[in-house]
Chain A
Amino acid sequence: MLVVGGGLAGAVAALAARARGATVLLVRRSPGATALFGGAFGVAPDLDALPGDPLLGRRSPLESARRLAARRPSHPYAVLGVHDLDEALGFAGAQLSVLVEPADGRPRFLAHVSGGLAECGLCLHSQAAGDLRRVRGLAVVVGFSGHLGFDARLVAAGVGRLTSAGGPRSAAVEASFFTGPGDGALRPFDLARALEAPGAAEALGAAIRGVLPRGASVALLAPVLGINPAARVHARVEAAAGLPVAEVVSDPPSVPGLRLDATLLARLAGAGVEVLDGEVAAGGGPGRPVIVAGETVEAGAWVVATGRFIGGGLVRRDRMAEPLFGLPVIASETGAAGLTLAGRSPVSLTFRERTAAQPLLAAGVAVDPACRPLDEAGEPVHARLFVAGALIGGHEHAADQTGLGVAILSGWLAGRGAAGEAT
């Protein structure tokens, strides 16, 4: 079987198919949106929760996904069904256990660099201690005195908004760090690399220990704790600081995104998935030979996980198109039937309020419950052609924070389905 696209959805599809015994080739052009991942796997936020509702009583990602599906019939959770969501999340968590905390069916609440909050279903090990649902006492956000890129005060205030809901109290402090000449101008990746150096993580831990107020139960840090997981920056900082340490959720350019991308590649190799870097020529399909990165490949089943606009799975230039198969593109946020939008102008497909759900940005292909793309008549294009991830229309991560959950669920379904059909 052939998987096109190496982001989270494609990787989960490949791994799920491999687990069912399929021989899998994955081709990817470049790191896509997954490499811009901020660290929190948004699955389904609790839409009915009010800001002051106790965190302990918040609904599980599965229950929230079920409620969302009931309201939005064109959301992938409604189309695919959420009965397998927990199993899919458990599978993904286990596959990525080097990086990711095991799923436990409960929502996690993490602080975001912007002072916002991320509600997620899975998170990184380096973030787990910062789950505001579990932290008791005082969460201390630690800034670097030598660097203005991360504002501890802003993040602490975001954390403080959950105190009345049973979250921890919060405080902001500055550790004397990154104060050397030129350090102030470093970018997140530079900071992360600098902390990988021998002694650097320990020095940061010591600096944190020196500024912690009494009663601190966790230190929240900028998401720059190393790019290479083997450098164990998080564990080293934690050991030296003498208390649990957690990274907050990043915005791009994202260090956790690079970590996830590297982890996916390592896991694919470990599972025996062959990975090729390159393009897939047009004209292929299940059972039809195609040139992939210069080699002729024939696969019994295909999973297309090429992403939305960032990944290049959809292209809009004059009109909207899915370039690989010419699949019909819909934007279904606005209606159950879905709106054929190939030729419509961007103004017609967006709303003036930026934060509204934007049909243009939720564009994608329609699928059946088995993740098979549908043609204009609503019939599967091919019995052994599947899609996964952001290429599926009807959701937009920025508007509903379900992107990673959809990637995992659809990847898992498509991978299993393709494996069943391919073997």
Chain B
Amino acid sequence: MKHDVIVLGGGVNGLGTARDCALRGLKVLLLERGDLAAGASGGNSGLIHGGPRYMLSGPKVTERACRDSGYIQRLAPHLLFRIPFLVPFTSRRERQSLWERAVAYATEVFFSTYDVYQPLKRGKPSVRLTAEELYRLEPGLRPGLHGAVTFDEWGIDAHRLCVLNALSAKGHGADVRTWTEAREVLREGGRAVGVSWVDRVTGERGEARAPLIFNATGAWSPAFARRQGATVKMRPGKGVHLVMDRRLSDYAVVCNAVDGRMMFVYPHQRESWIATTDDDFYGDPDDCEATADEVEYLLEGAASVFPSVRQARLTRAFWALRTTLHDYGPNEDALSREHELIDHAAEGAAGLFSFVGGKLASYRAQSEEVTDRILRELSRRPVACQTHEEPLPGGEAVADAAALAARHGVARAVAGRVVYRHGSLAGEVLRLCDDDPRLRLLVCREEGILAAEVVHCVRHELVRKLVDLRSRLKLAVGACGGLDCARVAAQLTARELGWDPERTRRELAELLEAGWRERRAVLSGAQLAQEELLRGAHWAVGA
């Protein structure tokens, strides 16, 4: 089958672009080598934030991110949650020095400038807090702080944002193939005309043809381009996040790492996260993991405002590579979060484009820009972009969790989680329980995942492997590591997808392996005991 455009990469830029292209009537094929959102699109801070920090280097970045954050709230309101940030004023001595007071004042002015953008994303204006007010909001902060400034941001389940874009693209006619790796760009007379691919699940090989190929493979794009004799310059920056088993606080707190870098500790869904490192990464992106020194660096920074993080239970450390634009000289934090579309025509591959840089919060605007360009390259007449108005699946309305819980006979808290993940489609998920009461089996008590939701997900959310449920449902991602859920979810998925028992066992082993890689760097205290238990529970699964 011939397509208008082949998108490589199932991250947020690839998926956003595939969706936009499909909405504008193009025939799209998207190839993703692993699961959706496997790279930076899933492994980020989970914030649709305006990036106040970038006001200094590029106010355009901030404005665009804020405007788009506002759009995302309209497209997928169920996925977003407000996170109030506190920026405490620290001091080296008991009383603030003149200089420190000046810094505090400058911070206050800085965030009142950011307030200009807040209405774009329904954010609340910043507030100056006295020390008493600060400690009333968050008594767990270390003593000796001199007040704070607040600002307002939105959290999001970034994995699900990507999944929803994929489902929408598919709904509008795009072919989305996960676990399918693009091998070579096919060329004819200096033009890219298609790609060869291999399905990593079935081993099937094939070719797809299109006059335009959009390479959005993130940290993998330099290597992919190099294989095609083209160049993508990038400064991949490794970002590691630490996750706690519960919320340390309902407020996000900005703090400084040992080297003065800004970082923060913040609530994200049921957990608290510590974000983040930013280090140039020269290694193989497939061989990237959190290291002991990154964990300690983040803990030390977080403990500088929240001493109790040292007692907290870390459940995992996840990582991803930012695809920052290349620039020789500046340190990592000073790099621009701008983006760039690279045309490889001059390298003998006309029709091949690569995307570098950008921000999660601006993915829609970035995709719109790319799609405009794709239409021009294909000499199509311009079609108006609708991605800022057309809701993502489930974003059409907000479902009433209490009513759904009562109607379908499930716990209120569980219905609430289903509504969070599926929005207005929650009723469709829970209706499965009416037809088959066995699907009320609670597979994960932590995330509130019913057997029905596993089945719904496998049927409707492009699931090809058991590990895909990690991103869709956070299955086996939490503190228990899949102790309770993994085997039952594997059985349910096997039933739906017709897996034989050997395949089921292999899928289960892969799911456990993925969790192990994220926990290995933080095994301590109760989490280490949990790991012993988990390994004991699953020894019979093997490799």
Contacts and interface: CB of A to CB of B under 8 A. Distances in A.
A148 interface: yes
Contacts of A181: 437
Contacts of B517: 352, 354
Interface stretch (A1-9, A97-105, A151-159, A207-215): A151-159
Contacts of A146: 437-438
Interface in A338-394: 345-348, 350, 352-355, 358, 360-361
A86 interface: no
Nearest to B531: A361
Contact of A310 (B438, B440, B533, B540): B533
A25 interface: no
B247 interface: no
A361 B535 contact: yes
Interface in B492-543: 492, 494-495, 500-502, 504-505, 508-509, 512-513, 516-517, 520-525, 528-529, 531-533, 535-543
B289 interface: yes
A267 interface: no
A118 interface: yes
B483 interface: yes
Chain B at the A interface: SS class = helix
Contacts of B533: 33, 36, 252, 310
B439 interface: yes
B505 A116 contact: yes
A308 B524 contact: no
A114 B523 contact: no
Interface stretch (A198-206, A232-240, A313-321): A313-321
B451 A148 contact: yes
A19 interface: no
B: interface residue count bin: 35 or more
B113 interface: no
B91 interface: no
A154 B494 contact: yes
B538 A114 contact: yes
A421 interface: no
Interface in A62-119: 112-118
B439 A347 contact: no
B402 interface: no
A149 interface: yes
A60 interface: no
A113 B504 CA distance: 13
Which interface residue of B484, B509, B523 has the most chain A CB atoms within 10 A? B523
Interface stretch (A275-283, A325-333, A396-404): A396-404
Interface string A135-173: 000000000001111010110111000000000000000
Interface string B278-305: 0000000000011110010000000000
A149 B495 CA distance: 12
Contact of A116 (B492, B528, B531, B542): B542
B257 interface: no
A115 B525 contact: no
A182 B538 contact: no
Nearest to B289: A352
B488 interface: yes
B458 to A, nearest CB: 13
Nearest to A308: B532
Given A316-B524, A317-B524, A184 B438 contact: yes
A269 interface: no
Given A116-B540, A148-B488, A360-B523, A310 B441 contact: no
B488 to A, nearest CB: 6
B536 A354 contact: no
B7 to A, nearest CB: 31
Contact of B537 (A182, A251, A353): A251
Contacts of B436: 184
A189 interface: no
Contacts of A336: none
Given A114-B540, A252-B483, A347 B494 contact: no
A401 B542 CA distance: 12
Given A114-B538, A115-B501, A346 B525 contact: no
B75 to A, nearest CB: 34
Interface of B: 289-292, 295, 436-442, 451, 483-484, 487-488, 491-492, 494-495, 500-502, 504-505, 508-509, 512-513, 516-517, 520-525, 528-529, 531-533, 535-543
List the 9 closest A-B pairs by CB distance, nearest first: A116-B540, A157-B501, A184-B438, A345-B292, A398-B535, A309-B529, A354-B516, A346-B523, A151-B491
22 contacts: A33-B533, A33-B536, A115-B501, A147-B438, A148-B441, A148-B451, A148-B488, A149-B488, A153-B501, A157-B501, A184-B440, A251-B540, A309-B531, A309-B532, A317-B524, A345-B292, A354-B517, A355-B509, A360-B523, A360-B528, A397-B536, A398-B538
Interface of A: 33, 36, 112-118, 146-149, 151, 153-154, 156-158, 181-185, 249, 251-253, 308-310, 312, 315-318, 345-348, 350, 352-355, 358, 360-361, 396-399, 401, 403
